[in-house]
Structure 1
Amino acid sequence: MVRGGDAGPPVIGIIGREEELARVRRLLDPADTDRSPSLLVVGEPGSGKSTLLDVAAHEAEDRGLRVLRCRGHEAETGLVFAGLHQLLGPRSAEIQELPGPQRDALLRAFGLNEAEPAGAAGEPERLLINLAVLTLLSDAAYRRPLLVVVDDAQWLDACSLDALAFATRRLAGEPVSVLAAARSESVPEQFGAEFPRLFVPPLAEAAAGRLLDVQPFPPAGPLRRQILRQAAGNPLALVELARATADSPASLADGAVERLPMTARLERIFADRLARLPEDTRRALLFAAAADDPDLPAALLASSAAAPDGGIEAWLLAEKAGLVSLDSGRVTFRHPLMRSAVYQAASFAARREVHLALADALAGNPDRRAWHLAAAALAPDETIAAALEATADRARRRGGYRVAAAALERAARLSPDPHRQAGRLLEACDLAMHAGRPLWVEQLTTGVVAATDDPDLLTEAALWTGWALGATTRQKAALSHLLPLAASTAGTAPAVALTAVRHAAIVIYNMGDEGYRREALDLLARIPTDAGEDPDQTWPRAALDPFGDRPGHLRLLDRALALPDLGANELNEMGACAWVLDETATAVRLYGESMEHLRRVTTAGSNATLGQALAIAQFESGAWDAAEVTADDARRVAAENGLDMAGRAARYVGAALLALRGDTGRARELIDRAVAGIDPAESRALQARALAVRGAIATAEGNHPLAYELLRGLFTTDPDPVPLHYHASYYGLGDLAAAAVRARQRKDAAHVVDSVERRLAGRMSTRLTLLVHRARALLAPAHEAEEHFQTALAGPAGEQWPFERAQTRLEYAEWLRRRRRTGEARTALTQALPVFERLGARPWVARTTAELRACGVTMPAGREPARQVERLTAQQLQIARLAASGLTNREIGERLLLSPRTVGFHLYQVFPKLGVTTRAQLRDALNDAELG
């Protein structure tokens, strides 16, 4: 806060906020190429965030920028797209110019078009809505540079936040800046780490003193010291304490006011000021405090209905008291805490009267009416609960899962029938799960347990609790719910038991704990094989024992895939089954089909759990560029939705790609973040992957003893080495053997390989068989090595894993060259090199080209096309390939969830990197680069 006087103009400059203002102003400078296009201003209530945004907006307008603004409202967090309507609703003419599907979806989101989507009745439309926002902002910026200002983002409804975050992430390179502010204790999860933050700290004492000096009645002496001490550098507290104590300095000078938490202290000040206002003014303020922003006109009419002067005097007194500002028929509280104080200071009877009046005034808007009736409810009321349930259904059909879950949760609280209450809470669990909110699901299930003793409902609640715990890092807690539930229902409700084991299987895979795995396998043996459908049986059996009955698992997978109309969840589980069985190409296909389902019918456009699994499969199948894009998207979605384990797995993929491409510093940072704060005993799968990545980093840096030490950690040091993880550990065998050769640890590594072969005799997949032969070839005596090399390279099956095959070819070539068989070595090297170049595996490219030179091959000075492609980011390469295939910018944007102008911006950067000037040249340039 920097405003002085009751109704005077803003103080020139911002007292004590010079550095913060300079940072905000960078957003407005298009010549600053190093600036970020977005900035989130974070601070405690009253720290001056809104003032910074106001100054930025005024300066932006002075510079000729177009400014779009919206502000979160505490009472609107439960209303779908309320914030977005505030931001874009006045742009009706521009909305009409949108592509038809986007326009119609956005109008439906605003309640202006009740028609169902053509051909997709009832399906959520969040993707189209988000694309509409992206297109609107992009098109607006094309006409004139744009600044989007979002204040009090912590109170913006979730759907609006999702849409704004979606657009912001995809507006790179366009003349659009996004400036938002949120309270530090409640930053929306949509504003993840990719949004730069500006923390607004408390004012220094000198700046705080200057702010007191410009107040209408500057305090002095002991009172001044008391205010400075109690305000603790908070600008709003300084201003409000100075105002509130202007007529009673003695009490504060004597230290009569306690040191309370800031929010409570300020609300108490506001309440004291309210008490001195006439009843009519307090009632008018309560209407404004209780109303959602779109409801404010109705609130103003209702509050003034009984006043002979239309309530003008009441509002003038409120403005004079410094509680609100009046502008063009609108009422704005000077600070959100003032709104809260007004509402909390009123009795329940007064609040109820206001909410009932607002409900009557909003009879034509059933959603807003339902929430006001709920706020006025004295006791459980089925009529109101049913109205909220209908609101939830409308929100769900528009993709507002979080809002729908909140409405159902409130409906449950108002349900007179405990059984109905529990049922609504369970429906809310399903919606909260789709919203990716595991902690919320857990809270909802707690309510179910308190509401009912119905065994069926309690069983369903236990399943949801297990899912919620498993989606976070509380793996043991998840199993403590799921495994006993499976044990208790295996004989009486086998379908429930199977569902519990299915949920437990992914947790057990992540943990890699042998005790839990054996317990789950024993439970699975007790569940009839005809319980559930084939897809229900396939995943847990393969996940818990991938090497136990591989032929049986594959038969079950084939039967499941033959079923018609498999949904996204079934495709996801079948993809996971194929992946764990090393049917990698099938896994990529199934995961991709599942992702396409989700992109058509869900709110987020992608699912973090599915995304990280697809990224791993793409990585293993040699689609590294696609894996990078998929993993980055999965990590972002996981961060936005609290899906911790999925986010960690996505970081692993990113770290593995960086390590194998030679960017060891970033790889080390990313894998450290992936495992930070997690108990290794509760996540052996992630621990095994981290060891593999760190081993690859050490190898790339030439530290072979460290690489061997790390990779050796994949197996215990027992006389018969046991894998750290019953599945993930085995895939490090080849790299373990390669590091052993350079670290002079052949004997120890051979002991590990011997143990693996004994343990998995006759049960290995093709991939694992090839890896074992690679390891044997590296570790065996010279007279045995070639047979293993040739077996590892025999047949086309190994081409499913191109990087692993290229590694084996390189190692075979090195073995051949040492035996002066340079002709054969050159053949293997020329087969391996294009793979390494295509993948961007620079350390392996360097090693292969060195071997070719040692074989007498004169290497070209540059291999320029490959270097040109390496200069492209993963997203630029993806856009270039789509453009080369003939797609337009708009078609590419729809596929990649980018605006057409962003696509054009990326292509503008791609052309000089590839040495082309037209789209027609892209295909040849990319083909030349990838063929080397």
Structure 2
Amino acid sequence: MDKHTAERGAVMGPEPGTAEPIVGRDAELARLFRAVDPVSADPVLTLVGDAGTGKSALLEYVARRTEARGARVLRAEGSESESNLAFSALHQLLRPVLAEVEGLPGRQRSAMKDAFGEGTATSAPDLMLVGVAVLGLLSGLADHRPVLVVLDDAQWLDRASLDALSFAARRVAGEPVTMLIGARDGDRLPGFDRHVPVLTLEPLDDAAADQLLDLQPKSPAGRVRSRILDQAGGNPLALVELARTASAQGTAAGAPSAGPLPLTDHLERIFAARLDDLPASTTRALLLLAAMDSADSAPADSSGPPRAEDAAWLPAERAGLVRRTGRDIRFRHPLARSAVYHAASSGARREAHLALARMLRDEPDRSAWHLAAACPQPDAAVSAELERTAGRARRRGGHAAAAQALQRAAELAPRREDSARLLVEAAAAAVFTGDIAWVEELVAAARTRTDDAALLALAAVQVGRLAVLTVRHSVVFSRLADGAEELAATQPAAGLDLAAGAAVVRFYSGEDTQHHRVQDILRRLPSSTSHAGLRTWVRAVSDPFDDRAQLVSLLPRLAAEAEGRPERLTSVGIMAWLLDETPRAVRAFDEAFDRWGVQGALPEGLGGAAAWAYVERGRWEQAREACARTTAVGRVAGLDHAVACAATVDATVLAFLGDVSSARARAEDALTLIDPLESRSVAVYAHRALGAAAAAAGDYETAYGRLRMVFTAEGAPVHYHASYPALADLAAAAVRCGRHEEAVAIVERSADALADNASPRLRALISRARGLLADPGKAEPHFRAALVDPVLEYWPFERAQTLLGLAEWLRRRRRVAEARGPLTEALETFRRLGARPWIERARVESRAAGLDVTDTAPDAVAGLSPQQQQIVRLAARGLTNREIGEKLFLSPRTVGSHLYRSFPKLGITARSQLRDLIDGTLATAHTGE
């Protein structure tokens, strides 16, 4: 009886429709069937439980029944020995449909082939493109019939596969695609451990356990039965296997005795007992299979396990250790494999791994791991082979696999200095998994192996690089600052790297004491022309208003030096954004993204800067695309802070577009992911977004309350950079809910704090705030000051708000004719941006000013949801559903569904009409009717 059959005894018959009844798992089985129902609200479900509780049996039963009803079922089973081979589980899952890969768009097809080591690329594939390709492949298969993806023993799936599959799992809502995942209870599944429903298999109750024993061929009785029930603790596999052992031995003494060993150890001993009377040829075959444990078929080779039809397997089948599935031989349960492997002597295990390494000589990565498993002591040649394996894994984007290979290579390196180097390289690769505990473990191990100052400095930088992106800002800042101070004299370049990371953490936290420490570190670090750009970065990030003019003057040279280097251009863009040089920031980001494409395994520090720059520049669709990418990467890597940053930008745009409920949901999500006292920047952005959403809904009391939280009780900014742009919105809400006096004090305090270091943009926002709050007879100069500088056209939404404020003031002063010009310009801008609440407000004011304003096509587009607007505009540019999906991280089916629902709202019937509609919308917006 195999793992599936043994567990089925407590769950269901071996095939749907057989006479053997379901025992003890009715509710769980019903929940799984609800999940695979096409109308299910939860297309992804994780099934967790201890070994032997029935996970595999339940998944197998549901898969067979679903397949019998016409669905396509794709399966992958985690393998402990292949958990370090990048994309091995994804290849296993998609092997039956690999021909469909050829039908994917070119970039997705190339990314998938690169991931499987079949492409020609020399650099790592774009991991997000791999995820989009998986999503597109599943969606395409679902065009013909429903698709069920079953991932069993998911705790052993390789990290690269988990990342791609979790990416797709978050986007299958609305698709006829279901994903069922089986995993050991307590094991963390990156990407699946948040917002994924979990069904836990508890032990069987006493009645079900008794019923299961009654169903066994030789049901135990009396004292033996009592001891089995007590020993098994409701575990179905334990009940079946202990009953089988007692039956085979035929005496009460055959029942397992009580003892301190965990249940799984007892079961392993039970499986191992079955090896005693097996022929030597069978024992060798089992050991080779246990050492290989591959989900892929092994090549025919005399060094490896015999073919499935070989007679050596028959005694193992009779002993209940293996099962034959077509041309494959598999262990019936992981415990059987474990028992076989550990029952063998160390010499026999070593010979088995060496034999498998010879067998897999054409698969160098798998061969290298077997050679490593056969090494009882350090071996330079095997260490070097694993280092080459890591290089191949990195080129396929398998950062976790690369780090694992380098870590094992370090263990096998005979020389301590080589071991330390490999551990630091492993840490550098592990950075891209987002697992900071692992990175710190690798760096700590490296420190025990070397005194090389340069290498230890590099190790510290690797930890700092990832730590910056976590939510532990206070702890991380102290570590980075301490490291920077320690390295200032001996390794100044590394010290400056750590100071740069500390400056980013200072931005996230907004803690003033951290600013003083960063300044002190800069004074300790020697000046160097080769590091001038990084010093400028530290200054700009930690305090962009300290000698702003001098920092701005350095940007042209830094931009010239960064030309053609995407990572440097991104840094220049971030600095420009911080300094309110938004036009230069957008140019830098555009060039960086054009050259870099969408590469980059982790969000960079201050990765939200690009999205904010696009928001300010009025390119809201691009801002949302940047948020989608940061969210996708951050969730895969488990970087909640990066996800929260993106959520606040997205929430702000949604509020501007008038999707109030979605904006609130996104902002609240951001607040749940961070500690507001640790991440003041994110908290401020979230409250600004919630304030914008309330204002869009006309709830100015709530809007003021949210925006008031952006400043302290005394009226100082909560965050030294993120709070100031809220001044004008605070003033606008204040005049509508009677908080005039308090708002004046806050605005003037901020104006005094900024003084001559305020940017033209902030001066304009302060002027608008003053105009809104001023006595009626004194407001005009402030509004005019907020519009006088031509550079302010680069912030179109903010300028349009000022124009509307001026027009409202003019009309109230009965200067109606003068109000019409700014009103018309403001309405044009709001329409172009799709800012629905502001369109309506400008319309009302325009009609009051005597302008003839009627509903037109722009309002039809504005009536769509923000995501539908994005999709419609991209479709109007001629992009296909697949291309749009690739850009927005959606499946082609989801894109098509949005278009289908959008056409009636737009009054069109064909995709070909979209371009004329959108062009007409823009033309009307520019002419202003």
CA contact (8 A) 1:352 1:375 kept: yes
Q: Deviations over 1:359-398 (max 9, x none)?
A: 2222332211110111121111111100100111111222
Letter aligned with residue 631 of structure 2: R
1:672 maps onto 2:668 in alignment? yes
Describe the shift of the 1:799–1:96 C-alpha distance in structure 2 as closer, same or farther (beyond 3 A): closer
1:725 maps onto 2:730 in alignment? no
Q: Deviations over 1:311-361 (max 9, x none)?
A: 956533332333321222322222334333433444433322221221222
Aligned residue in 2 for 1:75? 81
Describe the shift of the 1:863–1:723 C-alpha distance in structure 2 as closer, same or farther (beyond 3 A): same
Q: How many angstroms apart in 1 are the aligned matches of 2:594 and 2:563? A: 14
Describe the shift of the 1:642–1:177 C-alpha distance in structure 2 as closer, same or farther (beyond 3 A): closer
Aligned counterparts, 1:122-201, within 5 A: 122=123, 124=125, 133=134, 136-142=137-143, 144-168=145-169, 175-191=176-192, 193=194, 197-201=198-202
Aligned residue in 1 for 2:651? 655
Deviates more, 1:682-691 or 1:784-793: 682-691
Q: How many angstroms apart in 1 are the aligned matches of 2:164 and 2:385? A: 27
Aligned residue in 2 for 1:290? 291
Deviates more, 1:316-325 or 1:379-388: 316-325
Aligned residue in 2 for 1:54? 60
Describe the shift of the 1:9–1:65 C-alpha distance in structure 2 as closer, same or farther (beyond 3 A): closer
Local SS of the residue matching 2:574? helix
User: Which of the numbers 678, 682, 688 marks the counterpart of 1:682?
Assistant: 678
CA contact (8 A) 2:443 2:463 kept: yes
Aligned residue in 1 for 2:331? 333
Aligned counterparts, 1:239-388, within 5 A: 239-246=240-247, 256-258=257-259, 263-264=264-265, 266-274=267-275, 281-293=282-294, 297=298, 301-302=302-303, 315-388=313-386
User: Which of the numbers 617, 620, 627 marks the counterpart of 1:624?
Assistant: 620
CA contact (8 A) 2:603 2:642 kept: no
Describe the shift of the 1:254–1:41 C-alpha distance in structure 2 as closer, same or farther (beyond 3 A): closer
1:871 maps onto 2:892 in alignment? no
Local SS of the residue matching 1:483? helix
Aligned residue in 1 for 2:637? 641
Aligned residue in 2 for 1:804? 798
User: Which of the numbers 521, 524, 527 marks the counterpart of 2:522?
Assistant: 524
1:759 maps onto 2:753 in alignment? yes
1:768 maps onto 2:762 in alignment? yes
Q: How many angstroms apart in 2 are the aligned matches of 1:523 and 1:697? A: 41
Deviates more, 1:737-746 or 1:761-770: 737-746
Letter aligned with residue 149 of structure 1: V
Q: How many angstroms apart in 1 are the aligned matches of 2:177 and 2:278? A: 44
- Alpha-carbon offset, residue 40 of structure 1: 3.8
User: Which of the numbers 870, 878, 884 marks the counterpart of 2:876?
Assistant: 884
Aligned counterparts, 1:424-463, within 5 A: 424-463=422-461
TM-score by length of 1: 0.88
User: Which of the numbers 505, 512, 520 marks the counterpart of 2:503?
Assistant: 505
1:17 maps onto 2:22 in alignment? no
Aligned residue in 2 for 1:591? 589
Aligned residue in 1 for 2:8? 3
Aligned residues: 916
Q: Deviations over 1:573-606 (max 9, x none)?
A: 111101101122332333344344444655x5x7
Describe the shift of the 1:597–1:76 C-alpha distance in structure 2 as closer, same or farther (beyond 3 A): farther
Describe the shift of the 1:230–1:558 C-alpha distance in structure 2 as closer, same or farther (beyond 3 A): farther
Q: How many angstroms apart in 1 are the aligned matches of 2:424 and 2:163? A: 24
Q: How many angstroms apart in 2 are the aligned matches of 1:847 and 1:261? A: 69
Q: How many angstroms apart in 2 are the aligned matches of 1:310 and 1:324? A: 11
Q: How many angstroms apart in 1 are the aligned matches of 2:322 and 2:840? A: 68
Letter aligned with residue 403 of structure 1: A
CA contact (8 A) 1:68 1:149 kept: yes
Describe the shift of the 1:678–1:220 C-alpha distance in structure 2 as closer, same or farther (beyond 3 A): farther
Aligned residue in 2 for 1:693? 689
CA contact (8 A) 1:284 1:300 kept: no
Letter aligned with residue 494 of structure 1: P
- Alpha-carbon offset, residue 869 of structure 1: 4.1
- Alpha-carbon offset, residue 633 of structure 1: 3.2
User: Which of the numbers 602, 607, 613 marks the counterpart of 2:609?
Assistant: 613
Aligned counterparts, 1:486-505, within 5 A: 486-505=484-503
CA contact (8 A) 1:47 1:201 kept: yes
Aligned residue in 2 for 1:410? 408
Deviates more, 1:363-372 or 1:272-281: 272-281
1:748 maps onto 2:750 in alignment? no
Cα RMSD (Å) of the superposition?
3.7
TM-score by length of 2: 0.89
Deviates more, 1:121-130 or 1:329-338: 121-130
Q: How many angstroms apart in 1 are the aligned matches of 2:279 and 2:231? A: 29
Letter aligned with residue 81 of structure 1: F
CA contact (8 A) 2:45 2:179 kept: yes
Q: How many angstroms apart in 2 are the aligned matches of 1:208 and 1:331? A: 30
1:87 maps onto 2:93 in alignment? yes
Q: How many angstroms apart in 1 are the aligned matches of 2:192 and 2:434? A: 16
Local SS of the residue matching 1:149? strand
- Alpha-carbon offset, residue 295 of structure 1: 6.7
Aligned residue in 2 for 1:551? 549
Q: Deviations over 1:644-692 (max 9, x none)?
A: 3211211222333444455555544443332337443322212322332
CA contact (8 A) 1:612 1:647 kept: no
Which runs of 5 or more residues in structure 1 are unaligned?
Answer: none
Q: Deviations over 1:164-200 (max 9, x none)?
A: 3445556666554443333342343133646555444
Letter aligned with residue 639 of structure 2: L
Q: How many angstroms apart in 1 are the aligned matches of 2:561 and 2:612? A: 26
Letter aligned with residue 509 of structure 1: F
Q: How many angstroms apart in 1 are the aligned matches of 2:202 and 2:260? A: 20
User: Which of the numbers 461, 473, 486 marks the counterpart of 1:475?
Assistant: 473
Letter aligned with residue 791 of structure 1: A
Local SS of the residue matching 2:793? helix
Describe the shift of the 1:493–1:927 C-alpha distance in structure 2 as closer, same or farther (beyond 3 A): same
Deviates more, 1:475-484 or 1:690-699: 690-699
CA contact (8 A) 1:226 1:253 kept: no
Local SS of the residue matching 2:8? coil
User: Which of the numbers 707, 710, 715 marks the counterpart of 1:714?
Assistant: 710
CA contact (8 A) 1:871 1:913 kept: yes
Local SS of the residue matching 2:746? helix
1:815 maps onto 2:809 in alignment? yes
Q: How many angstroms apart in 2 are the aligned matches of 1:39 and 1:432? A: 28
CA contact (8 A) 1:426 1:445 kept: yes
- Alpha-carbon offset, residue 866 of structure 1: 1.9
Describe the shift of the 1:100–1:793 C-alpha distance in structure 2 as closer, same or farther (beyond 3 A): closer
1:785 maps onto 2:789 in alignment? no
CA contact (8 A) 2:559 2:588 kept: no
Letter aligned with residue 8 of structure 2: R
Deviates more, 1:411-420 or 1:584-593: 584-593
Percent identical among aligned pairs is 47
Which runs of 5 or more residues in structure 2 are unaligned?
Answer: none
Letter aligned with residue 682 of structure 2: L
Q: How many angstroms apart in 1 are the aligned matches of 2:674 and 2:36? A: 41
Aligned residue in 2 for 1:914? 906
CA contact (8 A) 1:442 1:468 kept: no
Q: How many angstroms apart in 1 are the aligned matches of 2:796 and 2:107? A: 41
Describe the shift of the 1:295–1:843 C-alpha distance in structure 2 as closer, same or farther (beyond 3 A): closer
Local SS of the residue matching 1:150? strand
Q: How many angstroms apart in 2 are the aligned matches of 1:86 and 1:154? A: 15
Q: How many angstroms apart in 1 are the aligned matches of 2:356 and 2:613? A: 54
- Alpha-carbon offset, residue 36 of structure 1: 5.0
1:925 maps onto 2:923 in alignment? no
Local SS of the residue matching 2:561? coil
Describe the shift of the 1:426–1:761 C-alpha distance in structure 2 as closer, same or farther (beyond 3 A): same
